[in-house]
Amino acid sequence: QVQLVQSGAEVKKPGASVKVSCKASGYTFTSFYIHWVRQAPGQGLEWMGVINPSGGSTTYARKLQGRVTMTRDTSTSTVYMELRSLRSEDTAVYYCARDPRFISMVRGVGRGWCDPWGQGTLVTVSS
């Protein structure tokens, strides 16, 4: 079955960087977009960006542009999300999620949705 398994919880100091992984299984890795969404404690969902695992192209939320980088390793079917210059407001659970539509059948990420989701990775930023 389609599964996304994320790396474990992280504790970082302000100003540091964090890199969260998302390992995909059960499907052809390069055929589906992967999105990242985060959720601060007690807050709503915030879309962070998307990567095309085939060519590696990315689109990031304007708010995070310059601080976030999404990459992929096709040899291990793993997507990574790195967030730099961490501040306390970045404390959140970070989720990866797949768009279930074949990349080859759609024109970009428009009209997509997320299913399934990874289990989430808690990143705590604290001095």
Partner 1 sequence: DIQMTQSPSSLSASVGDRVTITCRANETIGSSLNWYQQKPGKAPQVLIFAASSLQSGVSSRFSGSGSGTDFTLTISSLQPEDFATYYCQQSYTTWWTFGQGTKVEIK
**For binding to partner 1 (CB under 8 A), which residues are involved?**
35, 37, 44-47, 50, 59, 61-62, 95, 97, 108-120
Six-digit token pair at 49? 């960006």
Contact 14, 88 (CB under 8 A): yes
Nearer to partner 1, 52 or 78 (CB): 52
Helix-strand-coil split of the chain, %, nearest 5: 10, 45, 45
Nearer to partner 1, 37 or 92 (CB): 37
**C-alpha–C-alpha distance, residues 30 and 61, integer Å:** 22
Measured from the CB of residue 33, what is the shortest distance to partner 1 in angstroms?
Answer: 11
Measured from the CB of residue 16, what is the shortest distance to partner 1 in angstroms?
Answer: 25
**C-alpha–C-alpha distance, residues 81 and 88, integer Å:** 18
Measured from the CB of residue 83, what is the shortest distance to partner 1 in angstroms?
Answer: 17
Nearer to partner 1, 13 or 42 (CB): 42
